[in-house]
Structure 1
Amino acid sequence: MAMVGLFWITEDSVYVGSPPSAEGHCVRITSEGVQARSPEGVRAWPWSILRSAGVEAVPVEGDTLGGGRFLVAVLEAVVTLASSYGGEEPPQMFLVLETEDGTEEVQVSAATKGYTSREITLCQHLLTRFREGTADPGTLTAWSREHRGGTPKPPEREALLREWTHT
């Protein structure tokens, strides 16, 4: 398994954010579309009905907590401390899916406390390519089957994302 940008990649699946939780919660990207699994069940959106797909509220690596984010971070820390006695919850992001019927947000746990700005941009572009049918998640799982070496370092991840968005 490896994390490349916003994607957690196994030999068989591509997930947005983290892999499935102990409760089975996850968002999986397939050649057919997006599948969100939660304790309530599975929801699916074929690529053909999506007008757009993107991830919002992505934690950015090295964010300096400027522009009011310091207060938000303090409040989040207080809530986390109060609710879990110091246990740390993963940062939450949202996969935003737009169809002709409206917009839906699916909550996703980040696999890390921060992604590089370049990784985020490349991943958003790759999601667009999946939706348009000009890229296939199978490319990522094939890479995982061949790679088997864990998560690459940031420059290598960005190079992979550039390759996947341009092929």
Structure 2
Amino acid sequence: MVGLFWINGEEIYLGTPPAAEGSGVLLTPAGVRITGDASREWPWPAVLDLRVEDVPVRSAVVRWASRAASVAAAALDAWVPDGPPEMTVALTTAEGERTETPVYAAAATAYTQREVDLSLGLLARFTRGEASPATLTAWWNEVRPGEVLRSRDREAVLESWLTV
């Protein structure tokens, strides 16, 4: 996971990949695909805007405090974690049609505001034809991180993608 993107080999999802019965938003070099029961697809030139709304954002201090409280509560068997927060992917076509799809956040507790801003900037570049999701899969195939990246590292990767 880097920012709002879940990279899994050749697949790039906004948020987490969908469960078997859920919907998801898949980004490809050709365009955007909503998967699941209401499956639809748009080529990038037909996408005017692509946003992720209701993104859980917290400062580093609050994220670490939440994580510590969760670990302590779990150790005391006093708490059952909630599922991941739900976000909304909103796609607007060049014809003005707006489609919204719920997806789950991939961040364990929340994203940093910088991660969200950089991710949304990259999505804007995709819609303007200035960048391609192929950059993300090329990075994944080259680097293949063996562990979850820290927020600073994810931000640095996002910044590098914005300059490609």
TM-score when scaled to structure 2?
0.80
CA distance in 2, matches of 1:43, 1:64: 39
In structure 2, the residue corresponding to 1:114 is in which secondary structure? coil
Return the letter of the residue paired with 1:33: G
> Is the CA contact (8 Å cut-off) linking 1:15 and 1:26 kept in structure 2?
yes
Gaps of 5+ in 1: 66-85
Distance 1:6 1:24, change over 3 A: same
Gaps of 5+ in 2: 63-79
Count of residue pairs brought into register by the alignment: 144
1:136 correspondence with 2:94: no
Per the alignment, residue 153 of structure 1 pairs with: 150
- Counting aligned pairs with the same residue, the percent is 43
Summarize the alignment of residues 1-167 of structure 1 with structure 2, pairs less than 5 Å apart: 3-23=1-21, 25-38=23-36, 40-62=37-59, 88-99=82-93, 100-112=95-107, 113-148=109-144, 149-167=146-164
> Is the CA contact (8 Å cut-off) linking 1:96 and 1:103 kept in structure 2?
yes
What RMSD in Å do the two structures reach over aligned CA positions? 2.0
CA distance in 2, matches of 1:60, 1:45: 29
In structure 2, the residue corresponding to 1:141 is in which secondary structure? helix
In structure 2, the residue corresponding to 1:18 is in which secondary structure? coil
> Is the CA contact (8 Å cut-off) linking 1:94 and 1:107 kept in structure 2?
yes
In structure 2, the residue corresponding to 1:4 is in which secondary structure? coil
Return the letter of the residue paired with 1:21: A
Distance 1:96 1:24, change over 3 A: closer
Which stretches of structure 1, 4 residues or longer, exceed 4 Å deviation after superposition? none
TM-score when scaled to structure 1?
0.79
Distance 1:94 1:24, change over 3 A: closer
CA distance in 1, matches of 2:21, 2:99: 22
1:20, distance to aligned residue in structure 2 (A): 2.8
